[in-house]
A and B are shown apart, each in its own frame.
Chain A
């Protein structure tokens, strides 16, 4: 990650240090991509495609048709944009994994983190978008098929729990076991809340109304509030971890 060249002469060494000093530029580019892509994701999910906050699971067929008809254009724009930028989410995850590799726990934890997120993103983000894009692609489709796509899209979007719960658990345990103090232990505990909220969203497959439905107070709103808090903590601590990382630190690769 950090490349330190051996300079030819002492004077050049000073120059070289001055200009090549950062050594962390790669990480900072990666870090600042996060706010950019989160803004884009927010724009896509909240403003354009209207899946956050999610529309009700309790709609009639006519209401579902109206939803797709009314938001067809913004769904097309939003989810097409998502198809272009969704991959960049893995950039952030790579950054977190880099710092997990600096921990005293083995790299396998970082790989587990990345793998769980990669698998989770397929139904949770990509398939959900495909379901909605398919729905608005042929608006004159059989109404029952439209309802099917609506349900599938939102169930996949809110209901992809397992991989994310695993990812949070891996991250939390890695922080707790780590002896290099890359992240403070309280981040591990905040991450455990995320595991709990994923678990509490499990009944979305059963209910069409109430706090445990996919737009419910517990399944969606509280989970999202805790997620935002977690994300803010993670970004702040990631910033600190990059800043505090000694230059030229050897990172294990086992």
Chain B
């Protein structure tokens, strides 16, 4: 794998103004963002995969308990939060495209939109947690709720980190001297990963039977 330096060089070499909108016209084998961010994202995907697999193994040990506990989750709140994150990802993907075509005003608007969805996600999550805790379903309640709070908690930490990254993207987009396509792309790569991990979490913790 000969990737590190040429990959990051390619991403910064991409001119924002003339860059094409269409996938097909992008240089083939184009690594969006920067290599460092991909190290983080791919590593995080492996780490989370292991958390989820440990969850699955624990689940098979006591299926009845896990199923009965799922009953006390707010399935619809989970669905709404998934839709919020998907919308957020959609904004961010369009922000990348707007940045490539040099439309930084629209890009800025879309990144802020994505960040607002992220804030909404956190607010909804806090409401959901409070409802669970209010009804006595706290972290030590049973194995399922330990996983529920730990996994959604570590995901929420990633959402907060994502908001920090989006904040940096907004700052750079506002300043014409700092504006870089690779920065917006790297932020988007991270933000989509947060979405991806939530998709897995939703499937395994909320809806699987």
Contacts and interface: CB of A to CB of B under 8 A. Distances in A.
Direct contact of A and B (CB under 8 A): yes
A199 interface: yes
B150 interface: yes
A248 interface: no
Contacts of A217: 54
A234 interface: no
Interface string A14-32: 0000000000000000000
B84 to A, nearest CB: 23
A206 B153 CA distance: 16
A218 B50 CA distance: 9
A214 B143 CA distance: 15
Given A189-B37, A193-B44, A196-B157, A210 B146 contact: yes
Interface string B143-183: 10010001001100100010000000000000000000000
A226 B146 contact: no
A203 interface: yes
A150 interface: no
A212 B39 contact: no
Interface residues of B, number: 22
Given A206-B139, A226-B47, A192 B161 contact: yes
B40 interface: yes
Interface in A167-219: 184-186, 188-190, 192-193, 196, 199-200, 203, 206-207, 210-212, 217-218
Interface residues of A, number: 21
B202 interface: no
A58 B153 CA distance: 26
B36 A189 contact: yes
Interface string B16-52: 0000000000000000001111011001100100110
Interface string A106-135: 000000000000000000000000000000
B51 A218 contact: yes
Contact of A211 (B37, B58, B153): B58
B164 to A, nearest CB: 10
A189 B39 contact: yes
Nearest to A233: B39
A66 to B, nearest CB: 28
A222 interface: yes
A58 B35 CA distance: 44
Interface of A: 184-186, 188-190, 192-193, 196, 199-200, 203, 206-207, 210-212, 217-218, 222, 226
Interface of B: 34-37, 39-40, 43-44, 47, 50-51, 54, 58, 139-140, 143, 146, 150, 153-154, 157, 161
14 contacts: A185-B36, A186-B39, A190-B39, A190-B43, A192-B40, A193-B44, A193-B47, A196-B157, A199-B157, A207-B146, A210-B58, A210-B146, A222-B50, A222-B51
